[in-house]
Chain A
Amino acid sequence: MNKITIENLSLKYSDGTESLRDINLEIPDQQISVIFGPAGGGKSSLLRTLNRLNDLADVVEREGTIKIDDQDIYQPGYDVIQLRRIVGMVFARPVVLPMSIRENLTYGLEVAGIRDPNLLENVLETSLKKAALWEEVKDRLEDPGVALSGGQQQRLCLARVLALEPEVILLDEPTSGLDPISTGKVEESLQELKKEYTIILVPHSVQQAARTADQAAFLLQGELIEVASGEVMFTNPQQQRTQDYIQGRFG
Chain B
Amino acid sequence: MIRVVLPFHLRNLARVDGEVELEVAAPVTISAALDALESRYPTLRGTVRDHGTLKRRPFIRFFACKEDLSLEPPETPLPDEVVSGAEPFLIVGAMAGG
| Chain A complexes with chain B | no
